[in-house]
Amino acid sequence: MSRGVVILGATGSVGRSALEVMAAQSEPPALEALTAYRDVERLAQLARAHRPRVAVIADPACGPALTAALSGTGIEIAAGMDALADVAGGTGSDTVLSAIVGAAGLLPTLAAVHAGKRVLIANKEPLVMAGGIVMAAARASGAEILPVDSEHNAIFQCLPTGYRCGQPPEGVERLILTASGGPFRSWSRAEMAAATPAQAVAHPNWEMGAKISVDSATMMNKGLEVIEAHWLFATAAEHIDIVVHPQSIVHSLVVYRDGSLLAQMGAPDMRIPIANALGHPERLPSGAATLDLIRAGSLQFEPADAERFPCLRLARAAIDGTDAAPTVLNAANEVAVEAFLSGRLAFDGIAAVIEATLEGAGRLAVRDSANLDAVIGLDGWARAFATERIAGAKYTA
């Protein structure tokens, strides 16, 4: 196992699972830094338990509270978004787990990639908004990208030994991403229109943060994952399929030229892909229960329904559209999900806002998607557009 780990987004669902996996090793790696957004109490509690060298809070206003909460521990404190990028790219670590939610993770993740680290990526939104930039930076610096998202980690495990992300895989015809179908898998569009945030975040198989839980309910998560897979595995989106598999036991598959399908299976527990990425190429214990095939019983596979889940259609259209479209799709989705969670937008308004924002962006001159400032500018434009649409109350229940 590597030494000196930074966990970006340590207080989140993935971050806490990673800390559990690390603490359970017979020789846990040194912890360089734990970061969080504003949750001082939880960050302080994790820092006291896991003893990183530095604890970083992204919101500068929370710096004094974190200093007070960790006084006497000898743990260094830093605050602000720049401090996140500093620890991610700094010399104190060789491994960075990118587990912030949303576009906020882009700059710290890029800092780690530019510094040539092993970067374990759970935070899919930066790959959706700027995958070309992230992967080009990894090629230039020699950073090794390891996928943590369960589907992408499954595919990574099914690819030939020695495979490195960013290269087209040998002998592979297609990639198949499995999707649980989320809490509304069998709901009609009319039923979904009135779905509440509490219903949307109640995922049948996985325990996750609120944003990705809503993305699973709209199935935008799978759309984002097609774009994520496109960049991680240098594979055209038309060679990436989605299959609904309600049991979440087969985590994804690789279809080889000779007709072989390789799948990775296991309990739906993020500690498994986290342990795989942390230890790669070694196999570490994860603490997760081993799947019992007899108790798992039968496995179902169904086509994904882009009629009932329009976000699937929008994500596909974005990949096939201009280079700028995935950036717009991601930003509009983040704004719409936030509005839904805070009761300002109906569930079916999420797709409507994203569609309107993509249409609005179609009238913009195409930006240079290889340029980070252009991507950040476009992200800001799409957020403002989507916010204005929502404020117009056109889509509120």
Positions touching ligand NAD (CB under 6 A) are 9-15, 36-37, 39, 58, 99-101, 104, 122-125, 149-150, 206, 208-209, 211-212, 270
Query: Which positions from 150 through 209 interact with Mg ion, judged by CB under 5 A?
Result: 150-151
Query: Which positions from 100 through 159 interact with Mg ion, judged by CB under 5 A?
Result: 149-151
Identify which of residues 212 and 356 has a Cβ nearer to ligand NAD in the complex.
Answer: 212
By a kind-dependent CB cut-off of 5 to 8 A, residue 125 interacts, out of ligand NAD, Mg ion, none, with ligand NAD
Which H helix or E strand runs over 283?
Answer: none
Longest dimension (CA), the chain: 62
Minimum distance of ligand NAD from residue 322's CB (angstroms): 24
Minimum distance of ligand NAD from residue 122's CB (angstroms): 4
H runs (alpha helix) in the chain: 13-23, 40-50, 63-69, 81-89, 106-114, 125-141, 150-158, 189-193, 197-200, 210-218, 220-232, 271-279, 293-296, 310-320, 325-341, 347-362, 372-391
Identify which of residues 67 and 178 has a Cβ nearer to Mg ion in the complex.
Answer: 178
Contact 363, 346 (CB under 8 A): no
Residue 215 makes contact with Mg ion by CB under 5 A: no
Between CA 106 and CA 113 the distance in angstroms is 10
As given in the structure block, the two tokens for residue 228 are 């994520």
Identify which of residues 217 and 356 has a Cβ nearer to ligand NAD in the complex.
Answer: 217
User: What pairing do the DSSP bridges indicate for beta strands 250-256 and 240-244?
Assistant: unpaired
What is the radius of gyration, based on Cα positions, of the chain?
A: 20
Minimum distance of ligand NAD from residue 107's CB (angstroms): 10
The length of the chain, given as a count of residues: 397
By a kind-dependent CB cut-off of 5 to 8 A, residue 355 interacts, out of Mg ion, ligand NAD, none, with none
By a kind-dependent CB cut-off of 5 to 8 A, residue 101 interacts, out of Mg ion, ligand NAD, none, with ligand NAD
By a kind-dependent CB cut-off of 5 to 8 A, residue 208 interacts, out of ligand NAD, Mg ion, none, with ligand NAD
Identify which of residues 84 and 356 has a Cβ nearer to ligand NAD in the complex.
Answer: 84
Minimum distance of ligand NAD from residue 373's CB (angstroms): 19
Q: Which residues fall within 8 angstroms of residue 79, CB to CB, at 6 or more apart?
A: 56, 57, 58, 59, 60, 62, 63, 66
Minimum distance of Mg ion from residue 334's CB (angstroms): 17
Minimum distance of ligand NAD from residue 283's CB (angstroms): 20
Amino acid identity at 283 = R
Identify which of residues 104 and 325 has a Cβ nearer to ligand NAD in the complex.
Answer: 104
By a kind-dependent CB cut-off of 5 to 8 A, residue 12 interacts, out of ligand NAD, Mg ion, none, with ligand NAD
Between CA 75 and CA 72 the distance in angstroms is 8
Identify which of residues 83 and 158 has a Cβ nearer to ligand NAD in the complex.
Answer: 83
User: What pairing do the DSSP bridges indicate for beta strands 240-244 and 302-303?
Assistant: antiparallel
**Count of residues engaged in binding Mg ion, rule: CB under 5 A:** 3
Minimum distance of ligand NAD from residue 260's CB (angstroms): 26
Minimum distance of Mg ion from residue 124's CB (angstroms): 8
268, HSE (Cβ side, Cα atoms, 13 Å)? 16
Judged by the rule CB under 5 A, the positions of this chain that interact with Mg ion are 149-151
